[in-house]
Amino acid sequence: MKREKIIEEESRYIIHTYKRAPLVLVKGKGTKVWDSEGKEYLDFLAGIAVNALGHCHPKIVEAIKKQAQTLIHVSNIYYIEPQVRLGKMLARESFGGKSFFCNSGAEANEAAIKLARKYGSKSSPPRWEIITMENSFHGRTLATLTATGEKKYQKGFAPLVPGFKYAPFNDLKAVEKAISPQTVALMVEPLQGEGGINIATPRFLEGLSKLSAEHDLLLIFDEIQCGLGRTGKMFAYQHYGVTPHIMTLAKSLGGGVPIGVMIAAEEVASSFEPGNHASTFGGNPLASAAGIAFLETLSEENLLENTRKMGSYFKTKLDKLKEKYDFIKEVRGRGLMLGVELTFPGKEIVDQCLQKGLLLNCTAEKVLRFLPPLIVGTEEIDQALEILDSVLKTH
Ligand SMILES: *Cc1c(COP(=O)(O)O)cnc(C)c1O
User: Which residues is 262 bridged to in the sheet?
Assistant: 100, 248
Cβ–ligand 1 contact at 139 (below 6 Å): yes
Told to judge if 389 belongs to the known catalytic residues of this protein, a careful annotator would answer no
User: Which ligand 1 atom is at minimum distance from the Cα of 48?
Assistant: 1
Q: Which residue is catalytic, options 100, 164, 222, 315? A: 222
Across the 395 residues of the chain, what is the mean pLDDT of every consecutive 10-residue run? Answer: 94 97 96 97 98 98 98 98 98 98 98 98 97 98 97 97 98 98 98 98 98 98 98 98 98 98 98 97 98 98 98 98 98 98 98 98 98 98 98 97
Contact 352, 361 (CB under 8 A): no
Spatial distance between the Cα atoms of 58 and 74, rounded to a whole number of angstroms:
25
Most distant pair of Cα atoms in the chain: their distance: 63
- Does 382 qualify as catalytic in the annotation? no
Whether omega for the bond prior to residue 162 falls within 30 degrees of 0, making it cis, is no
The rounded Å distance from CA 48 to ligand 1 centre is 9
Please indicate whether residue 120, judged by its CB atom, sits closer than 6 Å to ligand 1.
no
What was the pLDDT predicted at 1?
84
151 is catalytic: no
Closest C-alpha residue for ligand 1 atom 11: 138
> What's the Rg (C-alpha) of the chain?
21
Buried b (16+ CB within 10 A) or exposed e, 339-373: bbbbeeebeebbebbbeeebbbbbbbebbbbbbbb
* Cα dihedral: 243, 248, 253, 256 (round 10): -150
| Closest ligand 1 atom to Cα of 226 | 13
Whole-number Å distance, alpha carbon 138 to ligand 1 midpoint, is 6
Q: For every residue of 180-193, which 3-state class applies, written as one string?
A: CCCEEEEEECCEEC
CA 126/CA 251 separation, integer angstroms: 33
C-alpha–C-alpha distance, residues 185 and 128, integer Å: 8
Other residues' Cβ atoms within 10 Å of the Cβ of residue 22: 10
Alpha-carbon span 111 to 368, nearest angstrom: 31
Distance CA 375, CA 357 (A): 19
| Adjacent-strand bridge partners of 57 | none
| Best mutation site among 224, 237, 367, 371 for ligand 1 pocket (most ligand atoms within 8 Å of CB) | 224
Please report the atom of ligand 1 found closest to the CA of residue 144. Answer: 10
Confirm or reject: Cβ of 104 under 6 Å from ligand 1: yes
Q: What CA–CA distance (Å, rounded) separates 375 from 306?
A: 7
